[in-house]
Structure 1
Amino acid sequence: MKMENSIYKDYLKLKKTKVFDNDEDIIKALAKKYKVAESIVQGDINITSSTNIFNFENDSKKIVKFQPVLRDELSLMYKYLEKLDRSDVDLQNLESETLSILEKINVKDEVSEFCIKGLVIGDIQSGKTSSMISLILGAFDIGYETVIVLSGLIEDLRNQTGFRINESIGIDPNDVETLISMSDYGIVNQTLDKDVNIGSLIAYKMNETKKTYWIIKKTANKLKVINEIYNGYNEDVKNSLKNNKESTIAKKMNSKILLIDDEADLASQDNSPSKTEEVSKTNQLVIELLKQFKKVALISYTATPFANLLTNKNRTHMDETLFPDSFISLLSPGVSYTGFEKYKELDSEVNNVKFLDEEKLFDYKKNNNYEISNDTDFKTIVKIFLTSVAIFKYQEIRENVKIENFKTMLVNIDIKNISQELLKKEFSNIITSIVTSLNRFKELYKNDLEELLKKDYKYLYDEYANICHEEFWYLYKQAALNCQVEVINKNSKSKNSDRLFDENSLETNKDKILIVIGGYKLSRGLTIPGLFTTVFYRNTNNFDTAMQMCRWFGYRDNYINYTTLYTTQTAWDNFCEMFETYEDFKRDVQVQGRDGLTAEEFIIKISASESLLPTSRNKMKGAEKLYDKWSKTGRNQIYNYQMESKILQENIESLKKLTLKLKFEKTNQNYVARKILYKYVKEFLDDFNFEEKSKEKIENHKIYFEQSNREWDVVIKNIGKSIYGSLALNEDVSVNLSSKDFKWIQLNNKEVAHIKTVLTTDIENYNFNKIGKINNTKSRLLEITNPVLFITINKFRINENSESNAIEEPVVAIAFYNPDEKEIAINSKSIYLNTTTGAFIDKEEDN
């Protein structure tokens, strides 16, 4: 079907050019291009035209247009922000980042169909849930009627996410009054008491008169259930159409739907073997859910986006993929966030990263024999945890620090449930032996601990030395006596394991001291409060898996000087490499975003490692491993344009004024003015009406232009035929308009037109000396020694097959080339490059 679509699209293009006398000539040209028989071309045109796949002439309602986000509308979102206990900077960032996402999904009501797919990247444990809640409430404010949150794979995470969203909206499952008031307000949690199930279908339908939200696990079983429910809803829509009467369900299905994929690199992405034709089951089910809706925005959240961005865009289900081709947004971590950089800094200052014997840990794991109760290293770990708790409790009593209701130690060294149960027993024995020592050999124990702190834990010893020792030892013993050892896994014997970190489970005036042991459940998504001590040893080679295990990241500034991480030297070295790669990737995304590229046009590249992979191989089918040939091409293109008629006319007038100041000659059809003083270029750029972000980009470059004091060439593109109209700039310069496809995007709460490229090889090769023979090589570097201002005058069209949706006024588009920015190198380091996405310079148009 893909070749059929391409042939038919090219057929429509050539037909509109009016260059060919008849269809027979077009068919011959296409047969030659695709290297197939003319009968095949004719057959494909007949089949595809009958299905009307690409004929959008009368389908203007499907053009996605946006409307501004009015802050006065955002009552729910701002009510939530006002309740947050955050710094002013953090609140401003959360507000602006949420508004930016809302702008990208605030589609005008008259648009009958749309599918927006965006990716939101936030650092591990940095507050993505706050962004997600703010977005949900903002979406309700701007007219979205349904929100579906796909919340990980475990019930603990679903409960945690559900609790936070319920709390933000004002729903307390244990408070009847809040349930009544929120029902009156018009928002209902469809999964308040349990995950989605078909047995509650009647109740679900009754609630659809109100705005609803669902929080469901991203398992195949639950996705099948939610799809079954919406299959039924769509049958209701069909029946409504037959009866010519819109039912409640039909009305809801015709409204805007927000689908949020939390932990979006997990399960959602295609991880099927490369040789199979079908994508993986969960990927299929998420796509099928997406396709249930006519008006839908899918916003994916993750801290590790490698699977999302290295997927093969050409592997589809129902002609759809989850690749975030609409936008990529980066969240700012809070000012008090402790991530990898801060941990490296802390480690250099206070040495709070301690290395364990990897060979010994490997033997424990290999033999499944965790008899660690007599292991000096593990006894030391527990002693340091209790020391941190006792010192911190001492400071809590004096109100020198904020109270932490949970004081936790995490142990993640084996994924096997049986091993975790063994570890629970051993850590319990260590606690018991410590209590015994405190009762029988207090002075000896005290001296040993003081020596240990003085030798290896100076950051704790300095505090210990300056507090009342008698009170410290009382608090230390109380911590040991009250310490619980728990296992968190799907087979956990503890009935209350799901409520370990529930504030409501706390006894009055009593904090909870915990050693929690686990694997998978402690490796992703779940926030561990009051995490003072971490023991980590897992031998994964995938960036995303390992990075997600960093549960010690987060907002821990209240007790950061009391934290200790125990891991191996190998694991720490790997973390350093992974997070440096991650930071490089984020900087690259920021640069491409500032340059005006959409997510679909981003060049996705991630540094490779000899022993590590960004994600599992099955998830990165779009990636090729290449040597990192990087280049600064010197090209700079302006992709975004304001489309108000007055602005377009003013830009034409600015161009006309420029042509009157310069002497142009016609070279290879284009108009070229050579060796021009920069002052003329500057006057034009100063006079030109740029979109706000493009203006910033131009202003930054003008600083370098002024310093270089070089002569410029100015090139105005002209094509051979006046297919799209022509424009006289002065008596000597008359230009045939080019054609540019564009789409509407939202920037700074304004709708602007976005094009994929300004430059084509014919205008770039304006110096090529063989008339009529253009060099079509997609060169990454131009062989030009002086700066160049490229100008094209265009007819903007909403898509390549639609004349009826063209903008009437000509649009002046700008690009420039600066040889001082040109640079190329080949590093010995390799990268993973997604070769199924990204923007390139186009070949010339048909003349």
Structure 2
Amino acid sequence: MSDFNTRIETALGAMSLRPRPLRAYLEKPGPDFESASASDLDRMLDLLLSTNPNEPARVRFSNLLRSWDNAKNVDWTQTARNSAVRRKAIHEILKSTAEDESRIDLVLPFYSLEEPLIVSEKHQDWYEPKAGIRDYYWSKYVQYLKEKRHWNDVSILTIDNSTRAIVECLGNPESSKAYASRGLVMGYVQSGKTANFAGVVARAADAGYRLIIVLAGTWNILRNQTQRRLDKELLGKELLKNDETYIKKPPSDWDEFLEHGNDPAELGHYAWQRLTRPDIDLKRLKQAIDNLEFERKNKAAPLYHPSNLHTLPVKLLVIKKHAGILSGLIKDLALLSTSLAELPVLVIDDESDQAGLNTVDPRATGKKKRAPTNEGIVELLKLFPRGQYVGYTATPYANALVDPDDPEDLYPKDFIVSLDRPPGYMGVADFFDPLSAYEDLDPDDYGQPEIAYIRRVESDLDQDDDDLQKALRSYVLAGGIKLFRRALKPQHYKSEYFRHHTMLVHTSTSKGAHVTTANRVEELWLKCAFNSPKGLRELGNLWEADHRKVSQAIGNGETLPGSFDDLRPHLAQAIGQIEEGNRIFRVVNSDTDDAPDFGAGPVWKILIGGNKLSRGYTVEGLTVSYYRRVSNTADTLMQMGRWFGFRPGYRDLVRVFLGVKEGKKGDTDLVALFKDVCQMEERFREEIKRYIRVEGAARITPKDIPPLIAISGSLPPTARNKMFNARIKNKNFGGRRSMLTMTPEMPARRKANIDVVTALLESAKALGQMALGGSLSDGKQFEADALVFRSSNESLIQLLNSYRWVETEYKGDSDRPADVNLQIEFLTKQKHEISNWLIVAPQRSKSFGKAVSIDGVVQLAVKHRGRGKSDHFQVFGEPRHRDIADFLAGIKSKNPMTPNSATKALQSAHTGVLLLYPVRENETDLVSMGYELFFSPNSLPYDTGFTVRRHSDEIVVEEGVS
């Protein structure tokens, strides 16, 4: 066996840069080896393709195969990375037999991954990482992710590709020509952005960047968490040996810290100098100034010369994003004898849309002025001609609205990288279908995300004992199920999956309210009496009515108890762990020092707080959330979603309790608002993709992409003081859908809209009532009765021109949402190729209230729909109706439909679709006429009508759901 291992190691070692004939190299890896027999070859292949995933030979071969699949700019093939064609080319070079090819692809299949979405200025290609050549910390980081955090191959390939793509956009640290860049990386809330920028830091340090500054949020709790994460996963034990934070009392997860085996400097690699610690932000001390100095080894060469650069240590600062701290750092840097003009610097701005952007509108002040923190970051970057600024955020709306003409500001002029949604991630789209109304959902269908995960809270905030107790029971029950799974299948459910088990209660920003809530939570916990017969009976009822059904519907095979009795001992253990210590809760705000240290030991507690438990802060093990806080902007609301993230082994146990009658008037539905921001996020990312993926077009730079932000419902994308650059431009709607819900409440305007629709239908050709529908890709069949009309572009334009909107929000010459103006411009001035419109009015068997009479044309059944905040209807149509409209308009759909004969007969090229919905909130209300538009695809380039943005140009902020 040892001879086999030597042969395999030698043979695969010769393939580190490219594949070679596998059997031939195994047969005789070198001149010192005798030729192996056919049976020995088979046995070596069995090791390479062992059923044991931890077999060293298989691990080595798997790593090589993945590297070949993912290799970029190689001379041995011109095939696309991570594709079937690439894998076929590899087999040809390996000279795989048909049987070998089949076995390899069965055990080690290739993963089809999308390339990272990149918009960038073109500059010199310089970054060519090679194994064993200036990649030490990056390779150790990847090893850590595999061995300690158990990342799978897909996740490793994804972070490999994305971090490489980001570093490729930076300047070459060894170049004699200085290059300073500004870039933006768009991730998802709680999606592993820290892991990504840790990888970028590792790659950049290996490449030669020697000062790395991480701006880690505005709270100590977040800065400390980020510092500790980099210490643990990137620097490792040997570089922390002099830090009392870790050495005096090693944390409970000390065994999970990265290890080098020896001090990396003694192994021949560069060293790190940490100028900040987990509990120590940057301080202005003489010692700190000395530590910032860089001593050149080759005095005759500049600092950026390779003979100097790669002999120097990397200095790491993780600092709070605060004007005072930035000012102190700038003053310290000004005292250095080191030439900052020669120093390659990387600045990572975590949560870059918060605090660091300029919020001072020059129109208000009459002159250019910066907010203090923005001024600090700008002044810091001015010091470094070789400084690279990379902002990270999951809510990039404010970043997209920075003035691109201000050369010193933080507009991402050089590159935008949109990270793919990582495997295993739970984001806003996993909890909500933004185009489905709650009343249309089947409350017994737990395969629907909103039914599975969301629990609607309708009671007043001070009268919600029953809801809060249900949340507490869900928390206890989930804890018991976690322990049951761990006990039954410890190899499958890793210990780190369930080390922490937390619940979040976020109902207010008031610190006084936090204390009151904590006391009430404790009282309700005692009232639940979980260990009593009554308490256990209530847990059993919840198991039968909720968790068992949800887990069976969406659990994807997660281990479940056969009966509630199987859970009892694990429930007792869960209750004991939650009650361990003096309290079941921790209050986390600026008045307390009670924030949990997730590295110090297991945390099984209920966390109660406000802002400190929002943006950027990771609540480990979060399973149940009780959220009732109203937010005024989309980005703030999204960042409140601490329940987004990775939930390995307990995805099916997540529950989110959301208030649906919040605010002073009780008119704010948080479920509806999250649906709005879900739609806003999806549309923003779709717009970026549209402009990135234009085949055969010239290279697109960030300035060429208008920040098309669709305002869904009543929430603006970001704070008004970050939107003073926003204007309106035109847009290609081809292949898109639009649903604007801001219909008026005033009777006169409602009546006017009935008249507008009447005029449209009178001018249209009636095609009669039809049963439209078909079958979806999942085999489900459906039909919807609908009245159908065919209309012209001119009639539709007249509808858009005449339709009336919410009177309290639109006044003046343009009494309509911005998106309608864009649609009118599109249909009147652009070559949209739409020849006609189908008007489809779905008809219910029974009208909600009296049907609406379209004089001389038809009677239309009315649908019940609820209004959200600011009198906006939340939604008009239904998903199945949209599937029909997508087919009729020729729009690519997530649910492609095989149409029935009536639907198929209606479809024709270049046809738009209008879904028409008379709706009312109460049976006696006057009808509101709602509609949804489906624009057929066209051949217009996506960038039609857009130019490089200047002060005189206009930036798109769409209003309404589109």
Q: TM-score over 0.5 for the alignment?
A: yes
| Cα distance between partner residues in 1 of 2:534 and 2:640 | 37
Say if 1:415 and 1:108 are closer, same or farther in 2 by CA, change over 3 A: closer
Higher deviation after alignment, 188-197 or 415-424: 188-197
Residue 190 of structure 1: aligned partner: 275
Unaligned runs of 5+ in 2: 1-121, 248-258, 296-311, 434-445, 553-559, 661-668, 737-827, 835-907, 915-930, 935-942, 954-962
More moved, 579-588 vs 464-473 = 464-473
The question of 1:214 aligning with 2:304 is answered: no
1:480, distance to aligned residue in structure 2 (A): 5.3
Shift, 1:628, TM fit: 5.8
Tell me the equivalent position of 2:129.
70
Alpha-carbon separation, structure 1, partners of 2:654 and 2:832: 56
Pairwise CA distance, 1:518? 0.8
CA distance in 1, matches of 2:733, 2:564: 55
Rounded to whole Å, the distance in 1 between the matches of 2:430 and 2:527 is 35
C-alpha displacement of 1:186: 2.1
8 Å Cα contact 1:416-1:519 kept in structure 2: yes
1:426 to 520, 527, 551: 520
- 1:259 is aligned to 347
- Residue in 2 that maps onto 1:621: 724
Partner of 2:509 in structure 1?
415
Distance 2:195 2:201 in 1: 10
Q: Distance in 2 between matches of 1:632 and 1:552?
A: 33
| Structure 1 pair 823–434 and aligned structure 2 pair: CA distance change class (3 A) | closer
Q: Which has the higher helix share?
A: 1
Identity %: 24
Secondary structure at 2:709 match in 1:
strand
Unmatched 5+ residue regions in structure 1? 1-62, 237-248, 365-370, 634-778, 786-819, 843-847
**1:208-255 Cα deviation digits (max 9, x unpaired):** 66321111000111111111112223xx3xxxxxxxxxxxx12x6512
Does the 8 A contact of 1:65 with 1:108 survive in 2?
no
Task: Give CA-to-partner distance per residue, 1:541-566, whole Å, 9 cap, x none.
Answer: 21110001111111103111111110
C-alpha deviation, 1:109, in angstroms: 3.3
Cα 1:196–1:823 change in 2 (3 A) is: farther
Q: What's the secondary structure of 1:144's corresponding residue?
A: coil
The residue number in structure 2 matching 1:303 is 394
Distance 2:206 2:521 in 1: 50
The partner residue of 1:113 within 159, 172, 178 is 178
Contact 1:632 1:821 in 2 (8 A): no
Which of 1 and 2 has higher RCO (CA within 8 Å, sep 6+)? 1
1:272 aligns with 2:331: no
| Distance change >3 Å, CA 783–CA 416, structure 1 → 2 | closer
1:353 paired to 2:444: no
Cα pair distance change 1:321/1:352, threshold 3 Å: same
In the alignment, structure 1 residue 518 sits paired with structure 2 residue 609: yes
CA distance in structure 2 between the partners assigned to 1:226 and 1:109 by the alignment: 25
Deviations 1:155-185 (A, max 9, x none): 1111111111122122333467989935663
Secondary structure, in 3 states, of the residue corresponding to 1:624?
Answer: coil
The 1:426/1:202 distance shift into structure 2, 3 A limit, reads same
In the TM superposition, residue 64 of structure 1 has moved relative to its aligned partner by: 6.0
Normalised by the length of structure 1, the TM-score is 0.60
| One of 168, 177, 189 as aligned partner of 1:103 | 168
1:592 aligns with 2:684: no
Structure 2 residue aligned with 1:320: 408
Out of 501, 507, 519, which is 2:597 matched to?
501
Q: What amino acid maps onto 2:194 in structure 1?
A: T
Structure 1 386/220 Cα, relative in aligned 2: closer, same or farther at 3 Å? Answer: same
Instruction: Kindly provide the amino acid, as one letter, of the partner of residue 598 in structure 2.
Output: D
Query: SS at the partner of 1:448?
Result: helix
1:407-439 superposed Cα distances (whole Å, 9 cap, x missing partner)? 10001110111111111111122223334x63x
Going from structure 1 to structure 2, the CA distance change for 1:254 and 1:411 (only over 3 Å counts) comes to same
1:64-463 equivalences under 5 Å are: 65-71=124-130, 72-84=133-145, 85-107=150-172, 109-167=174-232, 168-170=234-236, 171-172=239-240, 173-174=243-244, 181=263, 185-192=270-277, 194-199=280-285, 200-205=287-292, 210-233=313-336, 236=337, 249-250=338-339, 253-273=341-361, 274-276=363-365, 277=367, 278-314=369-405, 316=406, 319-344=407-432, 348=448, 351-358=451-458, 360-361=460-461, 364=462, 375-399=465-489, 401-403=493-495, 404-435=498-529, 438=531, 442-459=532-549, 463=560
Does the CA contact (< 8 Å) of 2:138 and 2:206 recur in 1?
Answer: yes
* Letter of the 2:541 counterpart: E
- Deviation, 1:191, is 1.2
Match of 1:396, as an amino acid? R
Shift of 1:267: 0.5
Q: Distance in 2 between matches of 1:351 and 1:561?
A: 12
2: CA distance, partners of 1:591 / 1:305: 17
Structure 1 143/825 Cα, relative in aligned 2: closer, same or farther at 3 Å?
farther
Counterpart in the other structure of 1:574: 673
Secondary structure at the counterpart of residue 393 of structure 1: helix
Q: Residue 537 of structure 1: CA displacement?
A: 1.4
For each residue in 1:273-298, what CA deviation from the matched residue of structure 2 results, as whole angstroms up to 9, or x when unmatched? Answer: 45123121111111111101111111
Q: Distance in 2 between matches of 1:64 and 1:629?
A: 30
Runs ≥4 residues deviating over 4 A: 174-180, 206-209, 460-464, 625-629, 779-785, 820-830, 833-840
2:867 counterpart residue number? none
Shift of 1:780: 7.8
Distance in 2 of aligned mates of 1:452 and 1:79:
46
Say which is worse superposed, 320-329 or 458-467, in terms of deviation: 458-467
Q: CA RMSD in A?
A: 3.7
Q: Does residue 611 in structure 1 map to residue 714 in structure 2?
A: yes
Q: Conserved in 2, the CA contact under 8 Å of 1:337 and 1:557?
A: no
Q: TM-score with structure 2 length normalisation?
A: 0.54
Residue in structure 1 matched with residue 569 of structure 2 by the alignment: 471
Amino acid at match of 1:402: K
- Which of 540, 549, 565 is the aligned partner of 2:631? 540
Task: Indicate the residue corresponding to 1:565 in structure 2.
Answer: 656
- Secondary structure, aligned partner of 1:135: helix
CA distance in 1, matches of 2:324, 2:947: 31
- Matched with 1:485 is 585
Query: How far, CA to CA, are the matches of 2:707 and 2:551 in structure 1?
Result: 47
Residues 214 and 473 from structure 1, CA distance in 2 versus in 1: closer, same or farther, beyond 3 angstroms? Answer: closer
Name the CA shift for 1:351/1:280 in 2 (closer, same or farther; >3 Å).
same
Whether the 8 Å CA contact 1:355–1:566 is kept in 2: the answer is: yes
Sort the Cα spacing of 1:468 and 1:181 in 2 relative to 1 into closer, same or farther, 3 A: same
